[in-house]
Structure 1
Amino acid sequence: MIDDILFISLLLCAFLYWTTAQKVKEIALRATEDYCFAMEVQMLDAYIALSKLGFERDNLGKMQIRRLFTFEFSSTGYERYSGTIIMLGNKVKSIVMEPYRLRND
């Protein structure tokens, strides 16, 4: 009986983590798309990939899950460049793009 309760609790925790992680990924994807639009570059593949997961304290000292996502973008349509977005909880902490070539129109 207690094993069943523990198993169901574990499944419930895994489901809650997964749904929260999906919401954070959606927020990160929208923020990345908006940032690429503002920087006048094209986000490639409309995809971000989780590359690191850890814990970090926010400005108030509260422990939050820190997620680092990577994405690719292009400034000219020919080269691919990498960028990262760091999420602390469900808030964007930073977006960094590697140096890229400017388009000469």
Structure 2
Amino acid sequence: MPWVEVLSLLAMLAGCALWFDSFQSREAGMRAVRAACAAEDLLLLDDTVALASLRPGRDDEGRLRLRRVYRFEFSDTGNNRRNGQVTLLGSELVALHLPHSERSRLRLVGTADDEQNRPFPRLPS
């Protein structure tokens, strides 16, 4: 086999290995995002993550891995879009960023039961 064919075959194998590793990392990121959205009672929009950054990085043991940052969109009220991101080193979760939701700023003002138990009289309409 000539050396050009051997190099081409090795490049194709490396590309396939990168694709398979990226597929596994993306699935790990999706699992983390789905779990975080479920725990925070948020709606994951489009049910997907998009690769925003790919660069080399080192793990805790000093091994060289690919550091991937995925972006995704979620909604906290059902009628808005908010951006979040998840960072993976290999297939290991490093960070998950969900900006503060507006839901935490909302508070219950009153219910129908509260109107009957008010200590002050209701003004005529």
Indicate whether 1:23 and 2:24 are aligned: yes
Any residues of structure 2 matched to 1:14-53 within 5 Å, and which? 14-53=15-54
Q: Match for 1:58: what amino acid?
A: D
Matched, 1:99 2:100: yes
Normalising by structure 1, we get a TM-score of 0.94
CA RMSD of aligned residues (A): 1.3
Counterpart of 2:88?
87
Distance (whole Å) between structure 1 residues aligned to residue 21 and residue 59 of structure 2: 18
User: 1:58: how far off?
Assistant: 1.3
Identity %: 27
Cα distance between partner residues in 2 of 1:18 and 1:73: 26
CA distance in 2, matches of 1:32, 1:54: 21
Query: Corresponding residue for 2:62?
Result: 61
The gaps in structure 1 that reach 5 residues or longer are none
In structure 2, what is the Cα distance between the partners aligned to 1:19 and 1:59?
23
Unaligned runs of 5+ in 2: 109-125
CA distance in 2: counterparts of 1:94 and 1:5, whole angstroms: 39
Deviation for aligned residue 1:56:
1.6
Q: Alignment partner of 2:9: what SS?
A: helix
Partner of 1:2: 3
Return the alpha-carbon distance in structure 1 between the equivalents of residues 93 and 18 of structure 2: 18
TM-score, normalised to structure 2, is 0.79
Size of the aligned set, in residue pairs, is 105
Q: CA deviation at 1:22?
A: 0.5
> Which protein has the larger Cα radius of gyration, Structure 1 or Structure 2?
2
For the residues of structure 2 that align with 1:44 and 1:14, how far apart are their CA atoms? 30
